[in-house]
Amino acid sequence: MSYKQQYTKKCDSCAGNGQTDNYYYECHGTERVYSGKSKCGYCAGTGKIVEEYLVKDEKCSYCFGSGKNVDNCNDCKGSGKSRFQPFFDHSNKSCPTCDGSGKLAYKGECSSCHGTGKVHKYIGTKPYNGCFITTAVCQILGYNDSCYELTVLRSFRDSIIQNYHSSLLEEYVNISPHICSSLLNANEKESIAHSLLYEYIHPAIDLIDAGKNEEALAKYREMVYLLKSKFRSSK
């Protein structure tokens, strides 16, 4: 048996304000100048994000069904083996503190199952504009929600990806919110955003403009998987 469950959280992009600061660049792109505020493109100005999950009647594998935050056992350091064994005893006795699991439940709810103890499969995020990562990059750099980069990539999504690569779009919707949340909260987010814009997003747009859609998609996928590896998700 399974059912859908929604959780509302504060938008990481605008810190719940529904607006983001805009900037433009002068002096050959080296000087950033503030130009006012605009509606947050990630949450559509609501200041909130609604994450939807499919909840299954199975024990969460991350908290073993406890619903609590789980981490490595302090006594065995996650090995599951007792640290106190006789020198000539090679039986590898289980750690008595965690019963050999190597894990213990601590304070706070499990982030994977939202404290329910049941398996949560991520479905998607609302509002959804289809360009999570590029939206996050543009907002970090102060571009507005109708900038050239987002306009081109949203058109590419609607005309090419939805019609010919729907399974890839579904995968993107599944993993991108976690990547964006991690990116928006990263200490070096501006440096990362600049690298993504000039090494992946702009080259992908150039390929789209040249009619090389498959190469553009490959370039964008390369960026997504790079970020997926950097900000590993449990979802």
Provide the Cα torsion 122, 165, 222, 62; round to 10°: 20
pLDDT band at 135 (very low <50, low <70, confident <90, very high): confident
What is each CA distance from 211 to 12, 44, 226, in whole angstroms?
Answer: 35, 30, 24
Give percent of the chain with pLDDT exceeding 70.
Answer: 83
234 pLDDT band, cuts 50/70/90, is very low
Per-residue model confidence as pLDDT tens digits over 178-222: 788 788 888 899 999 999 999 999 999 999 999 999 999 999 999
pLDDT band at 124 (very low <50, low <70, confident <90, very high): low
Residue 226, SS3 per DSSP: helix
The upper half-sphere exposure of residue 224, i.e. CA atoms within 13 Å in the direction of its Cβ, equals 21
Structure pTM?
Answer: 0.51
CA 196/CA 188 separation, integer angstroms:
12
CA-to-CA distance for 105 and 70, rounded, in angstroms? Answer: 4
For the chain, where are the alpha helices, taking DSSP H only? Answer: 132-140, 148-156, 162-164, 166-184, 189-196, 202-209, 213-230
- pLDDT for residue 235: 45
Instruction: Domain ranges for the chain, please list them.
Output: 2-60+115-230, 68-107
Mean pLDDT in residue range 57-75? 79
